Amino acid sequence: MKRHLLSAADLSRDDAELVLTTAEELRSLADRPIKKLPALRGRTVVNLFFEDSTRTRISFEAAAKRLSADVINFAAKGSSLSKGESLKDTALTLEAMGADAVVVRHSASGAPHRLAHSGWVRSSVVNAGDGTHEHPTQALLDAFTMWRHLGPKSGGSLDGRRVAIVGDVLHSRVARSNALLLRTLGAEVTLVSPPTLLPVGIESWPVETSYDLDAVLPKADAVMMLRVQRERMHGGFFPTAREYSRRYGLDGRRMALLQDHTIVMHPGPMVRGMEITADVADSDRSVIVEQVTNGVAVRMAVLYLLLGGSQPAVSTEGLPE
Amino acid sequence: MPAHLEPESAAAADNARTVMDGSDIGRALTRIAHEILERNKGGSDLVLLGIPSRGVPLAERIAERIASVEGYAVPVGSLDITMYRDDLRMKPARALLPTQIPQGGIDGRTVVLVDDVLFSGRTIRAALDALGDIGRPKAVRLAVLVDRGHRELPIRADFVGKNLPTSLVERVRVRLLGVDDVDAVTILGSEGEGA
């Protein structure tokens, strides 16, 4: 693996599969009386969150603590960041405190890349979501969830599996990271979205696109619903919420179109009644709660593989830093 | 073409000395199985935990022998010690190996750790730490196929397949069917004298 995890594209297939198999071993930790491993004793992980987040921050915090790392939480609200401190000065402060890894969430796309390649810090940088760009650990936990459900029936891989990602692709860092990672793992991704919510340049992504959800659902092995990110919308992307959910929402009728083994996923937070109805979210097909559990295991795997040794885990096809 | 064997077997043919073959290993494991039963006064409350990778097939084979003597199966599992190693920080991060604790856990049981080679003792030290995070066994015993000496910690084995005096420059290699293509214990000398 590289020293930083900034994009799902940083991961070779070997890297990604190493994360998945490591996460599989770490997942059983949740069933033990002592949910702790000593691998990162004495290492410091800083959670640097410039943007609101509950589940990702808690997930990273739990992952680092279960590996015995010391965790420092640094949220924009209530810190010097709200007083106008720059990313650079914050980074220099963290460096002076001796952080071994910085987990960063920022509203500006590319902020983690800047942090990693500016020379301000020597620590590993893990992107926990930057703007509308990428969210690689979310893609890893989604792939892990699919792999656990769909992998055993196809020889432990996602080769040839069809994944539909539905909704607000334009504002979704989850969609981009998933598209890149799932491609690396051999799955076929179809993005389903209104034309106004597909990003410019989508034809260069390794995916197919469709505007017709009903046509895509019967072939899918996994369906991932995305939240409509109204806080990032400044303009009319669709006429009304009701029309959006009628055309692109997953309800009981559409769920009946799915194959028996197909799973329904959502990265959270969900807006019930908008992109997904309550009966679908609470159905047997829904693995949304499991995604949260898997998130801790996957983030433990990432932190362990980046920080556990003298250098990140070496994979045979790893790209040179 | 026989001349183009894979490099490993070519090197093995040069200076490897076989000290245990398949039947030697089988007899040693049978004896260890009996010794475990004798020491434990039967198979009750026993849990065998193999240390991956080659401790696991050894633990399974010992369990088979115990089952054939006692008439019932004893729980077998595996215990990965990667994250408890004292040299974790000295090498690139390593892949984890499977940990499989049998149903019923280890609390109040007699745990027999099973490994292929006992050398410095550091692996066993790590395994004891790992066990402490999983439960509190009544007792922990250690069974190894080969004890090659050179301990660096105050640790000894309770059940030994073969004591093998070695020099520090020699390498002991255990191969087991299931993981490898043959059952054998070999010593690879580095003196360059040939076999």
- The domain limits of chain A are 8-134+292-307, 136-291
From chain A, the residues in CB contact with B92 under 8 A are: 309-314
Contact (CB, 8 A) for B143 and B97: no
- From the CA of B145, how many Å to the nearest CA of chain A? 27
**Strand, helix or coil at A48?**
strand
Write out the two tokens for A36: 């702790």
The total number of structural domains that make up chain B: 1
- Tens-digit pLDDT profile for residues B9-58: 544 455 789 999 999 999 999 999 999 999 999 989 999 999 999 999 99
**Per-residue confidence (pLDDT) for residue B1, from 0 to 100:** 38
The torsion angle over the Cα atoms of residues A144, A147, A148 and A152, rounded to 10 degrees, is: -160
- Interface check A12 vs B, CB under 8 A: no
How do residues B108-160 score in pLDDT, each as one tens digit?
999 999 999 999 999 999 999 999 999 999 999 999 999 999 999 999 999 99
Query: Domain containing B161: what range?
Result: 16-188
Neighboring chain B residues of A18 at a CB cutoff of 8 Å: 95
Domain of B26: which CATH number? 3.40.50.2020
- At B122 the pLDDT is 96
Which residues touch A218 (CB under 8 Å, ≥6 apart)? Answer: A257, A258, A259
Look at residue B110 and tell me if it is in a domain: yes
Per residue, what are the HEC states of A140-157? HHHHHHHHHHHHHHHCCC
Q: Which residues make beta-bridge pairs with A162? A: A188
Q: Does residue B94 lie in a domain region?
A: yes
Q: Which of A310, A311, A315, A316 to mutate to test the interface with B (most CBs of B within 10 A)?
A: A310
- Determine, for residues B97 and A25 on separate chains, whether the beta-carbon distance falls below 8 Å: yes
A314 contacts on B by Cβ (under 8 Å): 92
- Considering the domain delimited by A136-291, tell me its CATH architecture: 3-Layer(aba) Sandwich (3.40)
The answer to whether domain A8-134+292-307 and domain A136-291 are alike in fold is yes
Q: Would you say residue B59 lies in a domain?
A: yes
Does B149 map to a domain? yes
Q: B95–A36: do the CB atoms touch at under 8 Å?
A: no
Place A32 in a pLDDT band, splitting at 50, 70 and 90. Answer: confident
| CA within 13 Å, CB half, A7 | 13
Pairing of strands A101-106, A124-130: parallel
CB-CB contact of A188 with A162 (8 Å): yes
B3 assigned to some structural domain: no
A18, B95: Cβ pair inside 8 Å?
yes
Tokens of B176: 């087991």
> In this structure, is residue B6 part of a structural domain?
no
* ipTM entry: 0.84
Q: What's the gap in Å between the CA of A23 and the closest CA on chain B? A: 9
Compare all CA atoms of chain A with the CA of B83 and give the residue at the minimum distance: A39
Residue B3, C-beta contacts closer than 8 angstroms, at least 6 positions apart: none
Instruction: Encode pLDDT of B96-112 as tens digits.
Output: 999 999 999 999 999 99
Residue B9, in any domain of the structure = no
Q: Is the separation of the CB atoms in B59 and B49 below 8 Å? A: yes
Picking from B95, B133, B135, the nearest residue to A36 by CB comes out as B133
Q: How confident is the model at residue A82 (pLDDT cuts 50, 70, 90)?
A: low
Residue B5 lies inside a defined structural domain of this protein: no
Q: What is the pTM of this model?
A: 0.90
Considering chain A, what percentage of its residues have pLDDT values greater than 70? Answer: 96
Q: How far, in Å, CA of B162 to CA of B25, rounded?
A: 9
Contact A39 B83 (CB under 8 A): yes
Which CATH number does the domain A8-134+292-307 belong to among 3.40.50.1370, 3.40.630.30, 3.40.190.10, 3.40.50.300?
3.40.50.1370
